[in-house]
Structure 1
């Protein structure tokens, strides 16, 4: 969102929109009934942002990116994230604590935004990661008291934060660059 690179800015808005749909979709595994319309509406808004800004990524593909010369490190970061999430979920499943998988994956995802901020030269990613970590810590006591899966609360927190940052990113894009198309 704070980047000077138009392709990175468009990609951030698109990716945050897409991941909004993913996390709010995971929240729909077992949400309270009254949450369902909100989760669905948030998913639709996120996916609309993903579509509009995905087009902008394609349109601006030939422009510079903060990742130039760092793609291999980006790959290492993503691989480490996937491995950490996968190993954690495997251990949780083996311990009979599979209900915590969504929360664990969310912790890994939130943490990955911090080094990503340095790679993308965009501090807003670190802010997002820290906001998500604080929110995940705040819901932890409630999740411990419940016996059901952590996906509803975790997905709502992660999806809501991503949607907020996607909308802010989209607005900032419009102000700086005009429409994504």
Structure 2
């Protein structure tokens, strides 16, 4: 991403790779047949970046981090994200709208990148969140008329944006 903290750069690249793997996995819930190989390839690339940059993170753990002195706030942010996503999914399930769960979780994840960017002192993380929010908003009309799970559109948006961001971050580190 766009940070001066090498350890944070490596960790964010690894994390975005891992999360792209997760989102491409969720996208495989009900994909069009022609997307399947691409979703699998995205998963493989994501896990490869996660492993490679996870190793680099561990080798550079003694480097400074933007989170120094802010770990409690980071924990609060992550906890809030999990609670908001979970409560939203519970509400959707009780309303018989569980097909919207992937989209809801994606919105929560994308929105959490905005305050996370402040904690990490990394505008690149905010850019990823804004791009995701715009793309997720753009697919709402299609989701409203669809009968398929929202993971068909929301998960590839998240997987692709995270994978592209991880690749850009990897290139910027080299």
Q: Give the TM interval when normalised to the shorter protein.
A: over 0.9
Aligned-pair distance for 1:148? 1.4
Matches of 2:82 and 2:76, distance apart in 1: 10
Partner secondary structure for residue 148 of structure 1: coil
Partner secondary structure for residue 149 of structure 2: coil
Q: Which residue of 1 aligns with 2:158?
A: 158
Q: Which residue of 2 aligns with 1:5?
A: 5
Q: Could you state the TM-score of these two structures normalised by the residue count of structure 1?
A: 0.95
Matches of 1:94 and 1:140, distance apart in 2: 21
Aligned-pair distance for 1:147? 1.0
Q: Could you state the TM-score of these two structures normalised by the residue count of structure 2?
A: 0.99
1:47-68 Cα offsets, whole Å, 9 max, x none, are 1000000000100001110000
Instruction: Please tell me whether residue 95 in structure 1 is matched to residue 95 in structure 2.
Output: yes
Q: Where do 1:1-181 residues align within 5 Å? A: 1-174=1-174
Structure 1 residue ranges without an equivalent (≥5): 175-181
Aligned residues: 174
Matches of 1:27 and 1:152, distance apart in 2: 6
Matches of 1:59 and 1:26, distance apart in 2: 31
Q: Which residue of 2 aligns with 1:177?
A: none
Aligned-pair distance for 1:154? 0.7
Partner secondary structure for residue 139 of structure 2: helix
Matches of 1:153 and 1:24, distance apart in 2: 11
Matches of 1:95 and 1:164, distance apart in 2: 35
Q: Which residue of 2 aligns with 1:179?
A: none
1:31-76 Cα offsets, whole Å, 9 max, x none, are 0000000000011001100000000010000111000000000000
Aligned-pair distance for 1:152? 1.4
Aligned-pair distance for 1:22? 0.3
Matches of 2:12 and 2:24, distance apart in 1: 18
1:51-102 Cα offsets, whole Å, 9 max, x none, are 0000001000011100000000000000000000000000000000000000
Matches of 2:147 and 2:2, distance apart in 1: 40
Matches of 1:101 and 1:43, distance apart in 2: 21
